[in-house]
Amino acid sequence: MKKSFPESDMRSWFTRKRCGMFIHWGIYAVGGIHEQERWRYGTPEKVYEAYKDRFDPRKFDPASWLDMIQENGMEYLVFTAKHHDGFCMWDTNETPFNVMNTPFGKDVVGMLSEECHKRDFPLELYYSCVDWHHKAYPNLGRHHEIETDPAFHDMEEYMRFVKNQIRELCTNYGTIHGIWWDMNVPGHVDESVHEMIHSLQPCAVINNRGYGEGDYSTPERNFLDNGFLPFANLTEACDSVGMNAWSFRKDEDYFSVRKLEKQIALYTALGGNFLLNAGPDAEGVFPSPAKKILREIGKWYGQVKKALTAPPCPGLVKNASFLCTGEGDTLNLILLDPPAGETLNLEGFAILPEEARILNTGEEAVATLEPMSYTLGKEPRLRLRKLPADRMNDSVQVIRLKFAADVIVPAKVPETENRDGIRQDLSESQGICRDL
Ligand code: GLC
């Protein structure tokens, strides 16, 4: 896995564009239950695969998808070219089980990539290693697998199919910004696939769920127990607006805007990227609740993005309920939980800023340096007073402190990491506060 990409590397866009949109769309939208309907709900193969004959998304309009994505401040797109069901959303020569053989009959990946190219908007393609349709894939009934006849299983043949398909995706659609693998259940290793992607598509980043190590790690859904330490390697977390599925689900329950904002804030402020997912219905339209959530998050992200994507400064302020980012004359306090009241005392921090501004609303807080009344310590602390506490509950708030001089030195890039790229020990990765 990579710590970063040097500026000269064509993949370095990934370290500048930090929040992307994930879209799960395929014939599973016809069922409207789950992208893994066959595995999770036991729908028989014949019944499921007949969804293909009803896939006719008359309202699919790549321009309106891209408008929505861009208006909401997302900076790249990851789209499901092939999910576990094996259905392909592009015009592939490798299997007839593809979108050209539906009533719709148009190349969805082609239409989307064309729109992305017009706007210079990075497009990555999701590709599932597990394949429930291809007879050669060794479906042995492990997790995310539906047992098939072992007489046909042949990993070599399957890998030939995968490589041919990835070559198609990397050759027929102009610049592709990444291959987003998922579910290499057999743990098969074949770095030659990654080498081929690199040689055909120098801008393409590759995640760590495929046939080799990849460039970055991919924690998913709830992943909060990391001690708030910055990521040692490139990381991209993801979650969906829907609580039960990644694809369109008729009776979906949605996450709160606050919970999703908190996740985005957490991962980006620790140096990672975030992919926010939604699934359009069988017509090609995003459900209204999903659109509303994306709009609200987009508005918020626009207000606080600069602070979230500034370098992480863990340990600079000791309060457990917020994260710090910043550099030079700026320190950002990212309040993962709403403040308990109108005053925030910054533990272990005693430099008076020239300005303390709540980025969400533009309001100013009153900054003072004084000992805290409820502790015995006489040491002065930075206090932020007169916060609009009751109006800070429904969104993740960010306060930006501006100092008269460059006092903030961000954390060093950590050297060691665990599986998800998280440093275990804080000592070297603390930010430093210079004397004025
Ligand atoms: C999990 C799910 C899969 C989904 C993916 C997105 O791997 O099994 O359905 O596409 O998460 O990250």
Pocket test for ligand 1, best of 85, 185, 220 (most atoms within 8 A of CB): 220
Higher pLDDT, 372 or 159: 159
pLDDT of residue 372: 73
pLDDT of residue 426: 40
Query: Would the CB of 36 count as within 6 Å of ligand 1?
Result: yes
Distance (Å, whole) CA 179 – CA 210: 9
> Is pLDDT above 60 for 87?
yes
Is residue 425 very low, low, confident or very high in pLDDT (cuts 50, 70, 90)? Answer: very low
Q: What is the overall mean pLDDT for the chain? A: 92
Q: Atom 4 of ligand 1 has which residue's CA nearest to it?
A: 246
CATH no. of 322-433: 2.60.40
Distance 387 CA to ligand 1 centre (A): 40
**Nearest ligand 1 atom to alpha carbon 24:** 10
> Is pLDDT above 50 for 3?
yes
**pLDDT, tens only, 207-264:** 999 999 999 999 887 655 566 788 889 999 999 999 999 999 999 999 999 999 999 9
Is residue 151 very low, low, confident or very high in pLDDT (cuts 50, 70, 90)? Answer: very high
Half-sphere exposure of 9 (CA within 13 A, CB side): 16
Q: Atom 10 of ligand 1 has which residue's CA nearest to it?
A: 246
| Type and span of the H or E element at 345 | strand 344-346
In 10 A of CB 261, how many CB atoms?
Answer: 23
Distance (Å, whole) CA 126 – CA 205: 12
Adjacent-strand bridge partners of 280: none
> Is pLDDT above 90 for 159?
yes
Adjacent-strand bridge partners of 276: 21, 239
Distance 421 CA to ligand 1 centre (A): 20
Residue 396: name the closest of 279, 295, 326, 296 by CA. 296
Query: Would the CB of 220 count as within 6 Å of ligand 1?
Result: yes
pLDDT of residue 230: 87
**pLDDT, tens only, 352-363:** 999 999 999 999
Per-domain boundaries in the chain: 10-308, 322-433
pLDDT of residue 226: 61
Query: Would the CB of 85 count as within 6 Å of ligand 1?
Result: no
Comparing 64-68, 121-125, 366-370, 425-429, the range with the smallest average pLDDT is 425-429
Query: Would the CB of 193 count as within 6 Å of ligand 1?
Result: no
**pLDDT, tens only, 178-218:** 999 999 999 999 999 999 999 999 999 999 999 999 999 99
Strand ordering across the sheet containing 397-402: 322-327, 330-335, 397-402, 355-358
Query: Would the CB of 246 count as within 6 Å of ligand 1?
Result: yes
Residue 80: name the closest of 199, 245, 201 by CA. 245
Distance 424 CA to ligand 1 centre (A): 27
Higher pLDDT, 126 or 313: 126
CATH no. of 10-308: 3.20.20.80
> Is pLDDT above 50 for 1?
yes
Query: What share of the chain has pLDDT > 70, as a percent?
Result: 92
Distance 8 CA to ligand 1 centre (A): 32
